[in-house]
Amino acid sequence: MNEMVDDIFSSLKQDLEKAYSHQQSEYLVIRAGRANPHILDKVMVEYYGVMTPITQMGTISVSEARILNINIWDQSQIKNVMKAISQADIGITPTDDGKTIRLVFPMLTEERRKEIVKNVKKICEETKITMRNARRDALDMLKDLKKDGTLSEDELSQSEKEVQKMIDKYTSLADSLASSKEDEVMKV
């Protein structure tokens, strides 16, 4: 195969990896009834005029299965952190004792678990759509190479099969990731 085809495959693989890792990061912030420090990954606090992630302002630890403790290094910022967590709409109300902020994760109801599973499936479907779009782009580029005379009919056919193999592999990965997250959410 020629270098242009290799570039197309390399680009496709990068796009598929990116879609899959995005799915993984989205699943990290979905709470399944247990304390998960990643739920705070996207929460930003105004710290002396600069938007700063909570993870850079203190230590976050899991003290019990459903309790997250946040120890802010600069005690004067506890109120700002509390406000940022409340505004982040993560579904948990923070409490503090003047030194430590606590997030107590409630037990999930069956109804809430089903809502979360729907969200898990939606994220998986969005990932697969992104993957299919990457496949379409790769196939279009390969067909353009055939039109230019760079690829023969046989090479195009073989390349299309390789693209489909790659898509099948990553789609399968996305499905199994979604399935394991659903199991995690539905486990009481």
pLDDT of residue 124: 95
Angle at which helix 110-147 crosses helix 153-186, to 10 degrees, equals: 170
| Residue 105 pLDDT exceeds 70 | yes
Q: Would you state the structure tokens that stand for residue 137, as one six-digit string?
A: 């782009």
Q: Regarding the domain delimited by 37-104, which CATH topology (the fold level of the hierarchy) does it fall under?
A: Gyrase A; domain 2 (3.30.1360)
17: pLDDT strictly greater than 60 = yes
| Phi, psi (rounded to 5 degrees) for 115 | -65, -45
Question: pLDDT above 90 covers what percent of the chain?
Answer: 37
Tokens of 166: 């790659």
Q: Which tens digit of pLDDT belongs to each residue from 38-92?
A: 778 788 888 888 888 888 888 888 888 788 898 989 888 888 888 888 888 777 7
Average pLDDT over residues 90-117: 83
pLDDT digits (tens, 9 = 90+) for 117-139: 998 999 999 999 999 999 999 99
According to DSSP, the residues that pair with 72 across neighbouring strands are 58
As a whole-number percent, the residues of the chain with pLDDT over 70 amount to 97
pLDDT band, very low/low/confident/very high, at 31 (cuts 50, 70, 90): low
Give, for 124, the enclosing helix (H) or strand (E): helix 110-147
The residue ranking higher by pLDDT, 86 or 176, is 176
Helix (H) or strand (E) holding 3: helix 3-28
Categorize the per-residue pLDDT at 2 as very low, low, confident or very high, splitting at 50, 70 and 90.
Answer: confident
Per-residue buried b or exposed e for 115-147, using 16+ beta carbons within 10 Å of the residue's own CB: ebbeebeebbeebbebbeebbeebbebbeebee
| 3-state SS, residue 73 | coil
In this structure, the dihedral spanned by the alpha carbons of residues 14, 18, 19 and 24, taken in order and rounded to 10 degrees, is: 140
66: closest CA among 103, 19, 113? Answer: 103
- Extents of the domains making up the chain: 3-29+109-186, 37-104
Q: Which CATH superfamily groups domain 3-29+109-186?
A: Ribosome-recycling factor (1.10.132.20)
Identify whether the C-beta of residue 67 lies closer than 8 Å to the C-beta of residue 104. Answer: yes
